[in-house]
Structure formats: C-alpha cells, structure tokens
Amino acid sequence: MKRSKIKTAILVSGGGTNLQALIDAEKSGIIKSAKIALVISNNPEAYALTRAKKARIKTAVITKTEFGSRENAEKEMIKVLKENGIELIVLAGFMSILGENFTKKFERRIINVHPALIPSFCGKGYYGLKVHEEALKKGVKVTGATTHFVNEIPDGGEIIMQKAVNVRENDTPEKLQKRVMKQAEWKILPLSVEKVAKEILETEK
C-alpha cells in the first residue's frame, strides 16, 4: 500500500514557536505529506515539550549531560529516530550543531530554518538574536529567513526556500527577530517540510 505521509521528527531546545507553526500548519492542511510523529529536545526544560504534549505528539529528551558526550547523545538520537520510523527531521530552534556522523545518516532528510538570507549572517556562532544584531550593525535594508538541508557545515547545506523581510529604521534586534519569525520563518518552514516530504513520497511511486 502506498504511504500518504512521511513520519517526521522535530528537534527543539527552547520555546518552540517554530514547532507550533509546524503543528498549526499540519492541522490546517498546509502540511499534507508529513506527519509530526516525534519531538526530541536536548533541554528537559524546553517549553516546546509542553507544546508537543498538548498536541499529543510523542516526546523524548536526550541530553549531552546524560549521555556523557555529543557523540553518545547523537547515537541515542539515531536509535530513537529509527525506533520511531522517522524519515524526515526538522531543526526548529535546536541549539546544537549536529556531527558529520549524524548528518551523513540522514542526507537530504534534515531541514533547518535560519533567520537570515544565507549566505549572509550564517555559519558557526550565528544563531538566535546574534543574527539580527549583526544584520542591524551591517545596516542591511533587507533580511529574511532561509530553509536549507543540513550537512556537516553549519548553515552549509543546499537552500530549499527563502523569504525576504524589510528592515525598518527603528528596529531593535528583538523587533527584527519577531518580524522575521512572523513574516518568514513561520511561513517557509511548513512549506519546506511539505515540499521535501512530498518529494520523498513521489520518489517512491
């Protein structure tokens, strides 16, 4: 029997606003080809876990502290992903760089959203508010968000989608962060998940 949905896991570390955008997009039918089957956090305190539980999505917490090293935590993560039949992974504010061992196992199956127009303001150390601080320092008039496949190079994988957002004169990093989330991240992340999941299903035909 032909499958209609790709089992997807979301990796989170914090508040889970991007996770919420994905949950809402699945409910409203923007995401049709993927099913959010699992949420994994490397932070037991992440509010994203509460969001997942409210939406009745299975959760797991895997921390570096618990497993002694990033490598061991990633091995455990691979085990949990396999046990749950996960074929697509989405990084939604996941504050840990994934090692080559992990990314190679899931080639073209890991999606990340970055709060800038890659290749600007990206790479090692560029995450969270720092991205917006640097964009404002540079004086860019347009910023935005990018979804891309994840490989062993931070923000180095092939671009899936981009959406531009105008920078305003009185912007603070916080104001800009909110606008980029609302106007770009929460729009293109669900669309990218749908696009990639649909492509996976189509290759099986």
Confidence label for 6 from pLDDT (cuts 50, 70 and 90): very high
Whole-structure pTM over 0.85, yes or no? yes
User: Residues 191, 18: contact at Cβ < 8 Å?
Assistant: no
- pLDDT over threshold 70, residue 1: no
CA distance 35 to 28: 13
**How far is CA 59 from its chain centroid?**
16
Which CATH fold topology does 6-203 show?
A: Rossmann fold (3.40.50)
b (16+ CB within 10 A) / e for 131-147: bbbbbeeeeeeebbbbb
Q: Domain residues of the chain, as ranges?
A: 6-203
With a pLDDT cut of 90, the percent of the chain lying above it is 91
Segment 56-74 shows an average pLDDT of 96
* Choice among 114, 132, 148, 179 that is catalytic: 114
Examine the residue annotation and report whether 114 is marked as an active-site residue of this protein. yes
pLDDT digits (tens, 9 = 90+) for 8-51: 999 999 999 999 999 999 999 999 999 999 999 999 999 999 99
